[in-house]
Homo-oligomer: A and B are copies of this chain.
Amino acid sequence: MSIEVDYRFPPNIDAERQANVIAIGQTAGTWNEWFSHRDASLKSHLAEVLKVETQEDCSIATVRFPEANVEGDIASLLTMIFGKYSMAGAAKVVAVRLPEGYGTRPKFGIEGIRARVAVPKRPLVMAIFKPALGLTAADHATILAEVADAGLDLIKDDEILGDLPEVPTLERLAACREVIERVRDSSGRNLLYAVNVTGAADRLHEKARQLVKAGANALLLNVLAYGFSVIEALARDPEINVPIFAHPALAGAMCASPDTGFAYSVILGTLMAHAGADAVLYPAHYGSLPFDATEERKIVENLRSRRVFPVPSAGIIPSIVPRVLEDFGSDIILNAGTGIMDAPHGPAAGVSAFFEALEEAGFRR
């Protein structure tokens, strides 16, 4: 099996030439008569330019890399397809096609998360603790009780809330776990709380295990800030037997430029889906962040092709629910931050407004 990458170049770049630079420079690295006695072993590692298509406003070159050059993970893949070449000028990675078995499979994905919350069909509703900073563990529990009783399916920490002395992660979890258990005992519903796991890589992994032992039923990871190698380690660890929610923090630094970096659909779609994420957050194009509808569609397709749950976020409010459902159907997690926590009549009413919107679209609670 091989790995195919589409590179997009602006019209002023000789795409054919650059594709050849990539095919050699990102594999053998050098290729001249000095190494001619190693021809056979070198050739097996060289990438191949499959095609170069010139369009009106750009050229797209497709390069095929041998899978034998990398280690079956995302970090070595990134280094190979764009490591040094990312610094070579205007070029953007707009698609990556990987062998089915490449990378790390999600342990839960859409079906696994649905089974955990016992909601087989309808879109799920997720909230975010707000404000992001300044709440105590008890505040988290109070807020959670309010939204949980209103029927919420999932809640997550804000991505900027780490393991801070005033509100240690384990204390937040302990306080919220009581609420989750009470709701389960009284209503049978099992709310998932994606706890933000942070720290240097070794401590982060150890903390993730501690959290799971302490009853965490989901984790949140800022994959791009901490590293793809970190989510792969968590996803491959049998002790981490809870869904991992991938947050897109920093994605704009790698994806927002028109001519450099990666397409959002590569980072938040293909690579997250092959890195073991069970659900991936991304900015919905209806929302508060500028986002391209086509990229969003590709993200959803790339995630669902591996049964990873798409989580449109940022500016999600009840009034856009019909559009989300029309565009993407029901295998979606509606993730509302201020849309619930800043709702005019309070967070519980905010949750109810989402369920009312779902009911109008024909989905029972």
Contact = CB atoms under 8 A, between A and B. Distances in A.
Contacts of A250: 78-79, 82-83, 86
A289 interface: yes
Contact of A71 (B71, B159, B163): B163
A249 B228 CA distance: 14
Interface stretch (A148-156, A178-186, A337-345): A337-345
A337 B87 contact: no
A198 B71 contact: yes
A78 B259 CA distance: 23
Contacts of A83: 159-160, 222, 225, 247, 249-250
Contacts of A71: 162-164, 198-199
Interface stretch (A2-10, A23-31, A53-61, A354-362): A23-31
Interface stretch (A202-210, A300-308, A325-333): A202-210
B76 A162 contact: yes
A40 to B, nearest CB: 9
Interface residues of A, number: 93
B232 A84 contact: no
Contact of A290 (B82, B88, B232, B283): B88
Given A31-B131, A227-B228, A230-B227, A251 B202 contact: no
Contact of A79 (B160, B233, B283, B289): B160
| Copies of this chain per assembly | 2
A30 B82 CA distance: 37
Interface in A4-50: 26-32, 34-35, 38, 41-42, 44-45
A87 B289 CA distance: 7
A89 interface: yes
B262 A225 contact: no
Contacts of A225: 75-76, 78-79, 83, 227-229
A69 to B, nearest CB: 6
Contacts of A134: 28, 38, 41-42, 44-45
A203 B342 CA distance: 43
A217 interface: no
B30 A338 contact: yes
Contacts of A90: 256
A146 to B, nearest CB: 12
B75 A132 contact: no
A131 B202 contact: no
Interface string A182-214: 000000000000000011111111000000000
Given A27-B160, A158-B29, A225-B78, A87 B254 contact: no
20 contacts: A27-B132, A28-B133, A29-B132, A29-B160, A38-B139, A42-B134, A44-B134, A75-B198, A82-B253, A87-B256, A87-B283, A88-B289, A89-B256, A199-B229, A201-B201, A202-B237, A226-B229, A254-B261, A256-B260, A256-B261
A-B pairs with the 8 shortest C-beta distances? A227-B227, A86-B252, A83-B249, A257-B257, A29-B132, A87-B252, A45-B133, A41-B134
